[in-house]
Structure 1
Amino acid sequence: MRELIDQLNYHNYLYYTLDNPQISDAEYDRLYDRLVALEAETGVTMPDSPTRRVGGELLKGFDQHRHLARLWSLDKAQSEEDLRAWLARVERLVADYNAKHPDEEPLPPVRFAVELKFDGLSLNLTYRDGELVQAATRGNGVVGEAILPQVRTIRSIPLRIPFTGGTIEVQGEAFMYLSVLEAYNRTAAEPLKNARNAAAGALRNLNPQVTAERKLDAFFYNVGYAEGVSFADHEDMLQFLRDNRLKVNPNVRFFDSIEDVLAELQSLERRRSEFDYLIDGAVVKVTDMRTREALGYTDKFPRWAVAYKFEAEEATTILKEVNWGVGRTGKLTPVATVEPVELAGVTVQQCTLNNLGDIERKGLKHALGTRIYIRRSNDVIPEILGKVTDEQDGGEIPVPETCPACGSPLEWRGAHLYCPNRLGCKPQLIGRITHFASRDAMDIETFSVATAEQLYDERGLRDPADLYELTMEQLIGLERFGEKKARNLLDAIEKSKHRDLASFLYALGIPNTGKTTTKELADHFGTLDAVMAAEREQLLAIPDIGEIVADSIVTFFRDPVMLDSIARMRSHGVEPHAAERKAVPASGYFAGKTVVLTGTLSSMTRDEAGKRLEALGAKIAGSVSKKTHLVIAGENAGSKLAKARDLGIEIIEDEAAFLRLLEQEEAGASASD
């Protein structure tokens, strides 16, 4: 069995990674069938057996996987000027490092790698002592979804690698070849629209058999975590990946000058349609590993790499009609329907327009039935650029005077139309209830827009408080609601009664407030009653809350309808609680000060710095005002630093001095404890 597995995995490598098969399909099948027979006879399946690649059992759900090393996003450059600005920052930091470390070997002149930026689904594979033990999606960069059974179906990914010296994490991109997509669609009962979604949907399908049917592939380009191995430069790392039978895209190029890099980027953009997979740009990286370590990271991005985004693809189509949709706040948004058109691998049929001003600015007021330009900004959001001709030769886009959902007369508020009928307009009510139940709000699992519409139509649900009056009998009688689904929903509603105060305030949908403001309210006042009773002056005393937000909060909690809704929730046991707050020092340099962090810190993220400052009694604000006591300015600080100077606010621009002060205060706080 061991010999068969090694032979089969070797031939998989030759076939799927090198495109250089050395045996026929029939010979491969004979070896494979022999292994299947032996596994059935012995009842043993080894961890790296190729028979594990196609799973047959459905998974109950995805577990979370915490990456050993963070998966970073990439900063973007969309022009030659952007790329040269990135290089200027890199070269300045390299020069600064060399000047500050005269006793070390200087960092070498900057050399570049240019790789394709694939448009699929990011993968993070974990190999321990040579064996593939985990595979995960990128997730938020720190935690992803564990998808090992699905990834096993990608035949170019080795289940065992030669390197057995420790644990490593390798990053790459799973994708579907365009030719594979075309072949799949020729016989598929439900054709797939594009390769990007086909790959993502396959890997996030709970049935690995579905993943296997898509015949995905993957390219690898990074070792994010390495135990027992190190690399001198990017070329060294890529060779390590190749040596371990991980598929590396052949279109990687290395250059010594930015001029050559730009020429390569232009060439790739011209040739993007020649590749048998989707790309949306290229990635430019500094090759030397010592330099990467010296450059470090911002809050979100490595300073040593940048994604060069190609121009969004454009097309022309016919504007068929424009309808106005109503959101939970009552705002109307025009949505354009166009004749279907293929754009960057996706069939576009609808485009969002912001408001009437956007329609007029783009010369679309008389464009119905005419040909228009559309673009997918960053290859994602369909956008109408304008008419192909300047003539006003099309039908006029209608601007409603009454709400298309409830018939109420509309109101202009600034640049937008609003329906004022917040208690009788179905889309508003459904939107409000759906928002209330969403993950960042009350986190009522299994609740969806479709559920909200069904309960609105069949059970008279009109207010978030109505959720807490639902019974098993009411739910079980609904279509698609069995006992299990009804019980799960009721349990989720019951669990939501004990959400934290910040989430509850966000769930209420107070105008002009988001998650940051509701957290500040919860932290400042501590109880729901205190928030509801807050006067305008009390609210204005909170950093980042200005007059418009303060007025919105006061008005909201004086509204009899909202007060009745909250009272009903509380009568059913909804008791939002403030998050536990650790005791913070009452004295010290930072205690009681409102601090704004701006720019980039090299020693830590702004979020980490903020938490350390809060532990010392500081309040962290997002904007500079007269209430700000101190501004910590890192690299590339901009308008906030300028405003702080104008207002005469204390500023710390020396990161080393800030770090010394921070550590000194932390040591003092620990001693007093």
Structure 2
Amino acid sequence: MPDALETMKTLIEEINKHNYAYYTLDQPSLTDAEYDALYDKLVQLEAETGTVLPYSPTQRVGGELLKGFEPHRHLARLWSLDKAQNHDDLMAWHTRAQKLVNDYNTQHPDDPLPPLSFVVELKFDGLTLNLTYDRGELVQAATRGNGVVGEGILANVKTIRSVPLRIPYTDGIIEVQGEGIMNLSVLVAYNATAAEPLKNARNAAAGALRNLNPKVTAERKLNAYFYNIGYADSLQFQNHQEMVEFLRDNQFKISPFVKFVDSIDAVEEELEKLVAMRNTLDFLIDGLVVKITDMRTREVLGYTDKFPRWAVAYKFEAEEAVTTLLDVSWNVGRTGKVTPLARVEAVDIGGVTVQNCTLNNMDDIERKNLKFGLGSLVYIRRSNDVIPEILGKVTEEADGSEIVPPAVCPSCGHDLEKKGPHLFCTNKVGCRPQLVGRIAHFASRDAMDIETFSEKTAEQLYDSLDVRDPSDLYYLTFDDLIKLERFGTKKAENLIAAFEKSKQPDLASFLYALGIPNTGKTTTKELAEHYRSLEKLMQAEPEELITLPDIGGIVAESIVGFFRDPAMQRSIERLLAAGIQPVSEEAPAIVDESSPFFGKTVVLTGTLTIMGRDEAAKKLEKLGAKVTGSVSKKTDIVIAGENAGSKLTKAQELGIRIIDNEEELQQLLGDV
């Protein structure tokens, strides 16, 4: 047995070396027959010994069916990137970064940051992967998720032959980030023999990696490119070049286009070259990424709430095509709004097959000259990752059939009501898509965050267990769920546990979950911070609500009408009776009521370089200010940093007090 084990280790090392040469370097080092002989020998030894090492290449074929994906918390957050879509956007990003560096160097003359230098990389259009290696072995692979928690998809990722199962670096734990893709040539070959051809490479990769059958993933012959070390417990880099070399030395597949330059002008030259060659690549990209290379500079520049300040995604311009408008269907959303969806003759735009396009309402249809457009040629546009939209007809003539809006709800047959340009089904208690949508929204991540819940779950509970209201969820039992199709013991237990876990949401999330018409996350957060009590908010009058920033008459009436609706009152009563306890944060302690900010409504705009907008907002709230996101007549003060835009212009037009000097702001904030 010991001799056989050593032989297996030697074979694995040899096979992995050849896999690396073939799948990562694209440089085959032996014939297929020679490779097969090594592989067959390993399979034989594994069968004889009953031992399969975790990093064995035989693990790449896909194993047993998975029961589901477990949530995985990343060791370091995966950040989104701010976007630049033209020269001005790119230069604005560069100007902000340069100012932050200059300010730092002024304050630290003995230890300045180096001149800015940059790397330009491809922005792959696939599924983000976050791989965890512990002492050299691949122990976890996860999707991006919300950046903090993703889904563990280790079994599927192991089927990607360009992903190393073991790496030379064995000194600690690291997280390596990259993108799982399907090469376009592989997609063509797959579709040539597939019973159900795949529509596009991005969905093919994402669908395979999130498939509960790893064998399906293996059949897609996916690829992966890697570009970042997100976490390392005992590893540091001075610059991005060192990181790329580390990835290469540890057998990760690196993008064939990683360009290091020393000026923003050189960045633009590289962008032009890469944009020009975009359609020659054997994989999809949806943009390019520009990063500052020096790691200490990245640390100093830091992050906003959403993005690193040291990187930006240069997104491609929208792509357009001409196709035929075939049909328009009408769909009902959770608020009862009935919206049109256009079906067009399938057309390829940038490697993505487009068949459905958005239309807003009949006014939108008429404005785009589409009222008599069925069967006509139309222009469509796909911009970045946005659902394609119809721009208008190719001809001016009424040369097609008429698009007729529905007279009754296409789902339940109830009468429709026109509010402004939109149609609404007013059957709030008997319209299936409204009720399913409400339940799915209630359980969503930004609302009650009920884990493992999906719209398909909402549909199944509606159809099989008569779940008609979000409050019904908390009265379901294990015995109810176990009877459902595709619900085993584990799934039923997990969902019951998820319901229980969700019972203490913060008040803002609970209000958002309720789906109050005309309110979103910003408004419900504002309501939660002002009232800090569900009971007080439910008793509020319109005259009281409109005194709050960003809440006008229509929104105030929507809020009051929602809480006066007997059906909504019953739903909330049942939720509270089931043990839901919305938690409100305590109001920030007021430091000084004589502060010029006390009782004032303040808007922050632009870039604050000394303390950052988040820090400034917290200090303002401690001084009794109400910090909001938009400028209106109710705004008292606008604090404008670098590159302030339309909010500053509107403040000037309204004659609102503007503070555009950070030193003045610091003096007014005092010692908060």
TM-score range, shorter chain: 0.7 to 0.9
Aligned positions of 1:176-187 closer than 5 A: 176-187=182-193
1:382 is aligned to: 388
The 2-side partners of 1:405 and 1:650 are apart by 51
Query: Please, which moves more after superposition, 467-476 or 372-381?
Result: 467-476
Alpha-carbon separation, structure 1, partners of 2:394 and 2:417? 32
* Distance (Å, rounded) in 1 between the aligned partners of 2:473 and 2:169: 55
Secondary structure, counterpart of 1:150 in structure 2: helix
How far apart in 1 are the matches of 2:487 and 2:552? 46
For the pair 1:36 / 2:43, whether they are aligned, the reply is yes
Q: Which shows bigger deviation, 470-479 or 635-644?
A: 470-479
Cα displacement (A) at 1:638: 3.9
Find the partner of 2:662 among 654, 664, 667: 654
Q: Which residue identity does 1:411 align to in structure 2?
A: E
Residues 1:126 and 2:132 are matched in the alignment: yes
Q: For the Cα contact (< 8 Å) 2:159–2:214, is it kept in 1?
A: yes
Distance 2:413 2:199 in 1: 37
For residue 276 of structure 1, report the CA deviation from its aligned partner.
Answer: 1.1
User: Of residues 201, 211, 234 in structure 2, which corresponds to 1:205?
Assistant: 211
- Rounded to whole Å, the distance in 2 between the matches of 1:398 and 1:3 is 70
Distance 1:609 1:526 in 2: 22
How far apart are the structure 2 equivalents of 1:173 and 1:542? 44
Query: Relative to structure 2, which stretch is displaced further, 594-603 or 342-351?
Result: 594-603
In 2 relative to 1, CA 256–418 (structure 1 residues): closer, same or farther, beyond 3 Å?
same
Match among 100, 125, 147 for residue 153 of structure 2 = 147
- Give the 5 Å matches for 1:191-590: 191-442=197-448, 449=455, 463-464=469-470, 501-567=507-573, 573-579=577-583, 581-582=585-586, 584-588=588-592
| Larger displacement relative to structure 2 (596-605 or 343-352) | 596-605
2-structure distance, mates of 1:490, 1:432: 19
Amino acid at match of 1:178: L
Check 1:616–1:92 CA distance in 2 against 1; reply closer, same or farther (3 A cut). closer
How far off is 1:100 after superposition? 4.0
8 A contact 1:500–1:576 mirrored in 2: no
What is the CA deviation profile of residues 166-199 of structure 1, one whole-angstrom value per residue up to 9, with x for unaligned ones? 4433322111111222222233343322211121
Preserved contact between residue 498 and residue 576 of structure 1 (Cα < 8 Å): yes
**Separation (CA, whole Å) in 2 of partners of 1:296 and 1:113:** 17
- TM normalised by structure 1 equals 0.85
Asked whether 1:4 is paired with 2:11, we answer yes
Give the root-mean-square deviation of aligned CA atoms: 3.8
Q: Aligned equivalents of 1:501 and 1:32: distance in 2?
A: 58
User: C-alpha offsets along residues 487-511 of structure 1, whole Å, 9 cap, x if unaligned?
Assistant: 8777766776665544443333222
Deviates more, 1:583-592 or 1:78-87: 583-592
SS in 1 for 2:80: coil
Q: Report the Cα distance in structure 1 between the residues aligned to 2:364 and 2:612, rounded to whole angstroms.
A: 38
Q: Distance in 2 between matches of 1:3 and 1:461?
A: 58
What is residue 69 of structure 1 aligned with on the other side?
76
Distance 1:355 1:50 in 2: 54
Write the distance in 2 (CA, Å) between the matches of 1:526 and 1:88.
41
Structure 1 distance, partners of 2:346, 2:570, is 47
1:96–1:486 distance in 2 versus 1, CA, 3 Å: closer
Following superposition, the deviation at residue 328 of structure 1 comes to: 2.7
The aligned runs of 1:17-36 (5 Å cut-off) are 17-36=24-43
Residues 448, 659 of structure 1: alpha-carbon distance in 2 compared, 3 angstrom cutoff = farther
* Preserved CA contact (<8 Å) 1:298 1:601: no
SS in 1 for 2:564: coil
- What secondary structure sits across from 2:279 in the alignment? helix
- CA shift, 1:550, in A, is 2.0
Checking the alignment, whether the CA contact within 8 Å between 1:468 and 1:493 is kept in structure 2 is yes
Change (3 A) 1:336 1:34: same
Partner of 2:85: 78
Shift of 1:57: 2.9
| 1:579 shift after superposition | 0.9
One-letter amino acid of the counterpart of residue 312, structure 1: A
Percent pairwise identity = 66
Cα deviation 1:109-133 (Å, max 9, x = unaligned): x444322221111122233443333
Change (3 A) 1:294 1:424: closer
Using the size of structure 2 for normalisation, the TM-score is: 0.85
Please say which of residues 251-260 and 22-31 is displaced more in the overlay: 251-260
Counterpart contact for 2:659–2:665, Cα < 8 Å: no
- Deviation string 1:83-110 (CA, Å, 9 cap, x unpaired) is 33333434444444444443335623x4
Would the aligned equivalents of 2:504 and 2:583 in 1 still touch at CA under 8 Å? no
After superposing the two structures, state which structure 1 stretch, 474-483 or 129-138, moved more. Answer: 474-483
- Asked if 2 retains the 8 angstrom alpha-carbon contact of 1:593 and 1:628, the reply is no
1:372–1:563 Cα change, 3 Å: same
Q: Look up the match of 2:3.
A: none
More moved, 357-366 vs 98-107:
98-107
Q: Does the 8 A contact of 1:299 with 1:605 survive in 2? A: no
The answer for the alignment partner of 1:670 in structure 2 is none
Structure 1, gaps ≥5 residues long: 666-673
Determine the C-alpha separation between the residues in 1 that align with 2:81 and 2:158.
27
Q: Which moved more, 1:433-442 or 1:651-660?
A: 651-660
Higher deviation after alignment, 584-593 or 396-405: 584-593
Cα pair distance change 1:608/1:149, threshold 3 Å: farther
CA distance in 1, matches of 2:608, 2:77: 18
Contact in 1 for aligned 2:533/2:584 (Cα 8 Å): no
Q: Describe the shift of the 1:406–1:278 C-alpha distance in structure 2 as closer, same or farther (beyond 3 A).
A: same
Deviation at 1:453, TM superposition (A): 5.4
* Cα separation, partners in 2 of 1:221 and 1:323, compared to 1, 3 Å: same
Partners of 1:487 and 1:216 in 2: how far apart?
34
User: Partner of 1:381: helix, strand, or coil?
Assistant: coil
State how far apart, in whole Å, the 2-side matches of 1:554 and 1:187 are: 59
Once residues 203 and 655 of structure 1 are traced to their aligned partners in structure 2, the CA distance between those partners, rounded to angstroms, is: 51
Deviation at 1:319, TM superposition (A): 0.7
Q: Could you report, residue by residue, the CA deviation over 1:328-353 in whole angstroms, capped at 9, with x for unpaired residues?
A: 32322111121222333333222110
How far off its partner does 1:446 sit? 6.5
Q: Any unmatched runs of 5+ in structure 2?
A: 1-5
Q: Distance in 2 between matches of 1:452 and 1:421?
A: 19
CA contact (8 A) 1:526 1:578 kept: no
Q: Which moved more, 1:220-229 or 1:167-176?
A: 220-229
Q: Deviations over 1:134-189 (max 9, x none)?
A: 33222222333233332222222222323344443332211111122222223334
What residue is the counterpart of 1:671 in the other structure? none
Deviations 1:17-63 (A, max 9, x none): 11112222222233333333444455554443323334413344333
CA contact (8 A) 1:107 1:290 kept: no
Greater Cα shift, 168-177 or 93-102 = 93-102
**SS at 2:303 equivalent:** coil
